[in-house]
């Protein structure tokens, strides 16, 4: 991107969605998103859509964020922030099956992402987690 005089703002450390590039050239936002279908949708909801909303001065550019108890346990390796497709009734949240980046089926039922931070490795049933509505 240096050859195109694009200022790198960040590369993401997320799953799905690695690698994701965001940069700017003058006032133009430039996104480089991965190609797997679920990765594309996740990157759109979590990063591209909020950036576009911010660009047009939308009053709520980011996702609606809730803190909810988990209905099922989740574990992952440390190092990446995970956005897991979930289903919430606004009282609790359940991780859906089919989290792989090439699987779209879980997006049919998903109404949120369960956000597990880089250093999270295990969340047990009843633990409070960050939830982003989609």
3-state secondary structure of 54: helix
Residue 123 and residue 116: Cα distance in Å, rounded? 9
Based on DSSP, count helices (H) and strands (E) in the chain, helices before strands.
3, 11
pLDDT in tens, 64-99: 999 999 999 999 999 889 999 999 999 999 999 988
3-state secondary structure of 91: coil
Asked if the peptide bond before residue 37 counts as cis, ω within 30 degrees of 0, the response is: no
Residue 1 has pLDDT above 70, yes or no: no
**What is the CATH topology of the domain spanning 65-133?**
Beta-clip (2.40.340)
Instruction: Return the domain boundaries, the chain.
Output: 2-55, 65-133
Q: What does pTM read for this prediction?
A: 0.86
């Amino acid at each position: 991107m240096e050859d195109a005089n694009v200022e790198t703002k960040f590369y993401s450390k997320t799953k799905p969605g690695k690698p994701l590039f965001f940069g700017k050239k003058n006032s133009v936002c430039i996104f480089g998103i991965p190609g797997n279908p679920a990765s594309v949708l996740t990157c759109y909801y979590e990063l591209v859509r909020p950036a576009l909303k911010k660009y047009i001065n939308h009053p709520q550019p980011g996702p609606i964020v809730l803190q909810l108890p988990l209905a099922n346990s989740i574990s992952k390796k440390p190092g990446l922030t995970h956005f897991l497709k979930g289903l919430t009734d606004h009282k609790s949240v359940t991780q859906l099956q089919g989290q792989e980046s090439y699987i779209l089926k879980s997006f049919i039922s998903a109404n949120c992402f369960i956000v597990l931070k880089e250093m999270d490795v295990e969340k047990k049933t009843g633990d409070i987690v960050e939830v982003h509505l989609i």
